[in-house]
Amino acid sequence: MKFWQRAYLSILLLFILFFYSSIFLVSNFAYRTSLNSERERSFGEASFISASLGRDLSVSLQNDGDTSSDVYSFFRRYADFYKSQDIYLELWKNDFFLIGNIPDSPIKKYDTNSEEQKSIIVEYGSKKYLLVASSFLCDSDSYTLIYTHDLEGFTQEHNALSQFLMLSGAALAALLAVGLYFLLRRLSKPIENLDEATGCIADGDYSMRVPVHGKDEFAALARHFNSMADEIEGKIHELQTTAGQKQRFIDNLAHELRTPLTAIRGYAEYLKNANIDEDDKIASIDYIISEAVRIEEMTNKLLDLALLRNNVLETAEIDLPELFNAVSDKMRPKFSEKNITLETSCELSAITGDRVLLECLLNNLLDNAIKASDDGATVQLVALLENGETIINIRDFGRGMTEEHLNKLTEPFYRVDKARSRSEGGAGLGLALCEQIAELHKAKLTFSSEIEKGTMVKITFTTP
Amino acid sequence: MAHILVVEDDQSINELIVRNLKLVGHSFLQAFNGIEAVKIALENPVDLILLDVMLPGIDGFEVIKKIPPTPVIYITAKDGLEHKLNGLSLGADDYMVKPFEMLELLARIEAVLRRTQKNNTVFSLDNAVIDLTSRKAQVGGMEIDLSPREFELLEVLINNRNIALSRDKLLELAWGYDYAGETRTVDTHIQKLRSKLGWETRIKTLYKLGYRLEV
């Protein structure tokens, strides 16, 4: 059973219990009160009737000395008069029944001296009567007048009231049931939302969030839950990215090894089985050697990457213009091969870092710039100070690349144009290496590029 | 034999394929990128194209759309199913996944050529003339009797001429993978072929290597 259903039933049952208890108490109290006043009235009337009857009898006694026949006619006068008011009378003389008009009366002597017997409720036939006895003396005879008031009307009135209370109670309970249903559904909505969201997340949909309304505990819970879901989603995403990168790394490594190995195996088989001349043999052996060198270079770079990851930097003050000169000297053959002009500009005199690694970084980036450029183009190498940070920019005006490539550039083996750069001799590890070097120097590599307009690599050193 | 265009951007692998094609008597053209491949294929009608999927400029699938219908065997580095399906639905006759064995490539080439070439393939050497389509052999104008197995072996030798084939390889290619015979069987069949065709010096026994039909 759901929480709201449990709450609903409990509240409804409690309400009905308390409400009907109150109705019962109230109606009981009302009944007693009105019965008491009824009793008072009956006492009053009974005393009045017995007093009047007593008086009438005394008068008649003084007049003719005998009362035995007059008693009946007097009594009948009173009895007939009160009958219309649902009041019935009975007269006893010295413990003997004289006359009465009470329907279904058992003609029974009541002990009128006892306090409790002064007013009792009796049942004659199927009717209830309030019975009051009142005594008077006349001519040394003791008379007792039994006064009974039919309680039917009174009971009916009471029953009508009770019925009204019961019915209005039921109506209120029904109203409460409906109101409570909507209220509880509304109040328990946040729990349902939470339940739904946790279910979704448990099933692996980490993008699920709970709507937050108001400022109560549920809202706080929902907010906390959402931030927890954010955290989990972020972590999962991170894990997926890393796993994806690792998978790509392994795929790529396998692929990078496959191509030269296919060639090596193919040429070896060719040498072994084919009917060929000396020149052919030498050419084949040359291919085997160059492919082996390719694998060697790649493994060296991979090793560099692995070593750099655990490396502690040996930093020193480096003369930046001198570093630029050294790099451009070293790269000169590659520049002149494609007839590319290298423009250098250095506004800074020195930089702190590992000279060998920084040279490697610049070499790699310039190499990429050359590969991206057309013959006769220009490549810029600029060092400058921007907002107190040392910046080195390498810019080419070559092919450029689309946005989607920029994020993956530094992944090992990632190539923008897979086939082209392989034919140009790259293993796709250069930028991965560059990023490692930059990271060691607490520097950041940012790439911006536009198709057919060129690419700019910005190295931002956070430490001077 | 056949005129084949080899499109592969990796210089060493392109050379390797071409050298092997040359060995078994095919003529060839080379292309190292997609644009070059389209240009050559449009200018020179060829019997078959060996086409690398990942090419600089335009990829293999694009190349095949731009040229007149030609039998093609794709060469891919990735053995993903999508590549295979994509290749075959684009009218590929077969595909090879790198790394591959040259003998396997040559066998696939023969199979595709046999399917697509309508003219008879006749191989003649010295006095012997072998019609691979009608499976008949003549020596000096006289038809000779060859058992089906002998003819299988002869066909394997011709298709892989100038390449040494080990006894095991010959068993595999001429008898089939599931043949549980001994390598001695190969020797006796080779002897019969030599004497029937007069190829005593043509089919060479190579120390530790096996046999080679030298042309």
Domains of chain A: 3-164 (3.30.450.20), 206-310 (1.10.287.130), 313-461 (3.30.565.10)
| Residues 6 or more apart whose Cβ sits within 8 Å of residue B212 | A273, A275, B161, B162, B163, B164, B165, B203, B204, B206
Q: How confident is the model at residue A191 (pLDDT cuts 50, 70, 90)?
A: confident
Residue A102 φ then ψ, to 5°: -75, 125
B98, B102, B212 member nearest A270 (Cβ): B102
Residue B9 with chain A: CB contacts under 8 Å: 419, 422-423
- Residue A351 clears pLDDT 60, i.e. is over it: yes
Q: How large is the ipTM?
A: 0.84
Residue ranges of alpha helices (H) inside A407-456 are 418-423, 430-440
Chain A touched by B179 (CB under 8 Å) = no
Minimal CA–CA distance to A267: which of A248, A278, A249, A280? A280
Rounded to an integer, the average pLDDT of A166-170 is 89
Answer yes or no: are the C-beta atoms of A138 and A145 closer than 8 Å.
no
The percent of residues in chain A predicted with pLDDT above 90, rounded, is: 9
**pTM for this entry:** 0.58
Residue A255 with chain B: CB contacts under 8 Å: 77-78
In tens, the pLDDT along A262-272 reads 889 999 999 99
A263, A275, A419 member nearest B54 (Cβ): A419
Minimal CA–CA distance to A42: which of A114, A170, A147, A139? A147
In tens, the pLDDT along B7-20 reads 988 888 999 999 99
Chain A touched by B211 (CB under 8 Å) = no
pLDDT of residue A67: 61
Query: Which of residues 272 through 331 in chain A touch B, CB cutoff 8 A?
Result: 272-276, 280, 283-284, 287, 290-291
Minimal CA–CA distance to A135: which of A120, A121, A114, A151? A114
Tokens matching residue B102: 């040259």
Comparing A105-119, A367-381, A420-434, B8-22, the range with the smallest average pLDDT is A105-119
B9, B77, B163 member nearest A255 (Cβ): B77
pLDDT of residue B55: 79
CA dist B98 and A461 (Å) reads 43
In tens, the pLDDT along B51-102 reads 888 777 787 888 888 888 888 898 877 665 555 556 566 667 788 887 788 8
Amino acid code (one letter) for A419:
A
Are β-strands B136-139 and B128-131 bridged in parallel, bridged antiparallel, or unpaired?
A: antiparallel
Residue of A nearest to B60 (CA): A419
Amino acid code (one letter) for A250:
I
Quickly count helices (H) and strands (E) in chain A: 10, 12
pLDDT of residue A337: 85
User: Given this chain, do its domains B3-116 and B122-213 carry the same CATH topology?
Assistant: no
CATH class assigned to B122-213: mainly alpha
Answer yes or no: are the C-beta atoms of A270 and B16 closer than 8 Å.
yes
Structural domain spans, chain B: 3-116, 122-213
Query: Would you state the torsion angle of the CA atoms of residues A341, A347, A353, A359, taken in this order, to the nearest 10 degrees?
Result: 10
Minimal CA–CA distance to A155: which of A2, A40, A38, A283? A38
Residue of A nearest to B57 (CA): A420
Residue B32 with chain A: CB contacts under 8 Å: 423
Query: Greatest CA span in chain B, whole angstroms?
Result: 55
Strand partners, A461: A390, A443
Dump the DSSP string for B146-196: --HHHHHHHHHHHHTTTB-B-HHHHIIIII-TT----HHHHHHHHHHHHHH
Query: Which of B16, B169, B170 to mutate to probe the A interface, most A CBs <10 Å?
Result: B16
Radius of gyration of chain A (CA): 57
Chain A touched by B100 (CB under 8 Å) = yes
Chain A touched by B212 (CB under 8 Å) = yes
Rounded to an integer, the average pLDDT of B117-123 is 69
Query: Which of B6, B19, B161, B203 to mutate to probe the A interface, most A CBs <10 Å?
Result: B19
Gap from A284 CA to chain B (nearest CA, Å):
8
CATH superfamily of B3-116: Response regulator (3.40.50.2300)
Chain B touched by A382 (CB under 8 Å) = no
pLDDT of residue B119: 54
**Euclidean distance between the first and the last CA atom of chain B, given in angstroms as a whole number:** 14
pLDDT of residue B190: 92
